[in-house]
Chains A and B, each alone.
Chain A
């Protein structure tokens, strides 16, 4: 589904990713762990196409598309979803309005019929309820006045509505209490644990991995994957720290 080869990327002229290789197949959950400053968020933003994050070498292939050729909205329409570490607050734009426009823009991009207001509302309410987010909150402006946990739940509601093929979840566990962590973990499993989907979980800690069992764990340090393994690698990291493993 996703093949990253020899990825070099820079932000504001500073080289952050230095020859990263990674392959993610359909049906797999990959966790990317690493110390602060290793380039985890940079990888997420490069994959989603954030302006200012520039690929200087290597290739990014997603479902046989060259990602570098696609604008952020085209990546989304082709099934790529980025869960933000810090979801952006947008005063004056309601979640419902935003998500309906987003979903229908994607559907049009794929040549599908847009959903009616009633169809969309039903879908949005069901997704919110399954993630323990009060559906009334969807009427409120995007992320405005949401607690850290509510923002992350709202990100998962967005993911559920948009129903992507590949979810890149950037520190989705940060700022979550234990209940929210369980809800978000269950949401990821329900929405994304499918044979035709894949997840790239970017996380600093092992704790989300108690709820979302990864098939592969990679250690990102110094802009490259320095070690890969199974779920047990996360426990090893938790025990011994990044210093020992990444060295």
Chain B
């Protein structure tokens, strides 16, 4: 599929850390196609499963049950989200729906670009859990429109394990009175990413959580730009992100909370933490608060650092190899971001994906390794 690309430039504040320079080439390229082996990519949650290869639905390998494939009621003014047109998937559930189980959606790319819209609409009191995985290569561009009626609950977990290419996701959500949206993202592959979300806490007492762990090495770049807007009183939001950058990689997190004048007693929390595994790596953190109400509680913290040298020495003095000690501390660093995944099987698979990524990190031997830097002098 070829699309006319009008991409934002780095001069635009919301895109200042982005590098979209690879996207035109993906847009011009065709997918390789051919047989894809997806067997190991299913998590096995027991619910419906949808497979998209290069953005095309594969009915033979899917179990669609309450979801629908076809035109999607979603449109966006967002620079990347607006590129998404055509057929996609829709999940509409009312409270009296039959038990569905955790829905698994697998996106596999073979090159080129794919643009796929989705819509999730949960009726009053309805509940759903969705786990999405991005694998393969190429550029996967997604727009997801989410509408949660009062007291609906949606849990989402998104795993980025594409070995190369680019994944861009744009979520636009409206969360009504007492409804809850929890989204957890793990970036543990080799692709670059841009995670983008605009989430509106529209009714009193709504709960919004959006965060995760982004791991990058080599020249890789991950970026998340998430805005939560509290438009109604008594809402809570939580943005907990953990960024790990190795080699010359860059992870950038922009997390924004807006509290409208009427949104009294909003409880907002932001925790952005970055870990640099090499001195040449970069973590950018931008916590933003814009508060117009006067009775709110908004806590935010942003820190970037290296692995604690004392902790490393403590672990090594007990016999752990330096690489093991580093992996253990790094795993601990990202653990609380992944603990938010409600579905146990998915939580284990995500934790394993993070551990595998960390185990693949080569043992630092050059001057960049923190342990060496304290020696000598």
Q: Which residues of A contact B336 (CB under 8 A)?
A: 92
Judged by a CB distance under 8 angstroms, whether B320 is at the interface is: yes
How many Å lie between the Cα of A242 and that of B318 in the bound state? Answer: 33
Q: Closest CB of chain A to B310's CB: distance in Å?
A: 5
Judged by a CB distance under 8 angstroms, whether B366 is at the interface is: no
Q: Closest CB of chain A to B96's CB: distance in Å?
A: 41
**Interface 1/0s, chain B 331-356, versus A by CB < 8 A?**
11101100000000000000000000
How many Å lie between the Cα of A99 and that of B317 in the bound state? Answer: 11
Say whether, besides A77-B319, A90-B315, A101 and B328 are in contact (CB < 8 Å): yes
Which residue of B has the minimal Cβ distance to A159?
B318
How many Å lie between the Cα of A82 and that of B319 in the bound state? Answer: 11
B319 touches A105 (CB 8 A): yes
Of residues 123 to 176 in A, which have CB atoms within 8 Å of B's CB atoms? 141, 158, 162
How many Å lie between the Cα of A76 and that of B332 in the bound state? Answer: 23
A101 touches B332 (CB 8 A): no
How many Å lie between the Cα of A75 and that of B315 in the bound state? Answer: 13
Q: Closest CB of chain B to A107's CB: distance in Å?
A: 9
Say whether, besides A91-B332, A92-B333, A51 and B321 are in contact (CB < 8 Å): no
CB < 8 Å A-B pair total: 85
Q: Closest CB of chain A to B209's CB: distance in Å?
A: 19
Q: Which residues of B contact A103 (CB under 8 A)?
A: 319
B320 touches A90 (CB 8 A): no
How many Å lie between the Cα of A98 and that of B324 in the bound state? Answer: 10
Judged by a CB distance under 8 angstroms, whether B87 is at the interface is: no
Say whether, besides A88-B310, A90-B329, A92-B335, A102 and B319 are in contact (CB < 8 Å): yes
Q: Which residues of A contact B376 (CB under 8 A)?
A: 54
Q: Closest CB of chain A to B156's CB: distance in Å?
A: 24
Q: Closest CB of chain A to B287's CB: distance in Å?
A: 21
Q: Which of B310, B321, B372 contacts A73 (CB 8 A)?
A: B321
How many Å lie between the Cα of A75 and that of B329 in the bound state? Answer: 21
Judged by a CB distance under 8 angstroms, whether B377 is at the interface is: yes
**Interface 1/0s, chain B 294-316, versus A by CB < 8 A?**
00000000000000111101111
Q: Which residues of B contact A195 (CB under 8 A)?
A: none
Judged by a CB distance under 8 angstroms, whether A71 is at the interface is: yes
How many Å lie between the Cα of A92 and that of B315 in the bound state? Answer: 13
How many Å lie between the Cα of A136 and that of B336 in the bound state? Answer: 21
A88 touches B314 (CB 8 A): yes
A158 touches B313 (CB 8 A): no
Judged by a CB distance under 8 angstroms, whether A93 is at the interface is: yes
Q: Which of B322, B324, B331, B377 contacts A71 (CB 8 A)?
A: B322
Q: Which residues of A contact B331 (CB under 8 A)?
A: 92-93
Q: Which of B317, B329, B375 contacts A76 (CB 8 A)?
A: B317
B313 touches A50 (CB 8 A): yes
Which residue of A has the minimal Cβ distance to B332?
A92
Q: Closest CB of chain B to A82's CB: distance in Å?
A: 5
Most B CB contacts (10 A, CB to CB) among A71, A105, A109 go to A105
A105 touches B335 (CB 8 A): no
Q: Which of A49, A76, A87 contacts B319 (CB 8 A)?
A: A76
A54 touches B317 (CB 8 A): no
Q: Which residues of A contact B321 (CB under 8 A)?
A: 73, 105
Q: Which residues of B contact A72 (CB under 8 A)?
A: 313, 316-317
A-B pairs with beta carbons under 8 Å apart, 26 shown = A13-B377, A50-B313, A50-B317, A51-B371, A54-B375, A72-B317, A73-B320, A73-B321, A73-B322, A75-B317, A76-B319, A84-B314, A88-B308, A88-B313, A88-B314, A93-B328, A93-B329, A97-B328, A98-B315, A98-B328, A99-B318, A101-B324, A102-B315, A102-B318, A105-B319, A141-B332
Closest 5 CB pairs of A and B: A92-B332, A76-B319, A106-B319, A102-B318, A88-B314
Interface residues of A (CB under 8 A from B): 12-13, 48-52, 54, 71-73, 75-77, 81-82, 84, 87-88, 90-93, 97-99, 101-103, 105-106, 109, 141, 158, 162
Could you list 9 further interchain pairs (A-B, Cβ under 8 angstroms) beyond the known A72-B316, A158-B318? Answer: A12-B377, A13-B377, A84-B314, A90-B332, A91-B332, A93-B329, A97-B328, A99-B318, A162-B319
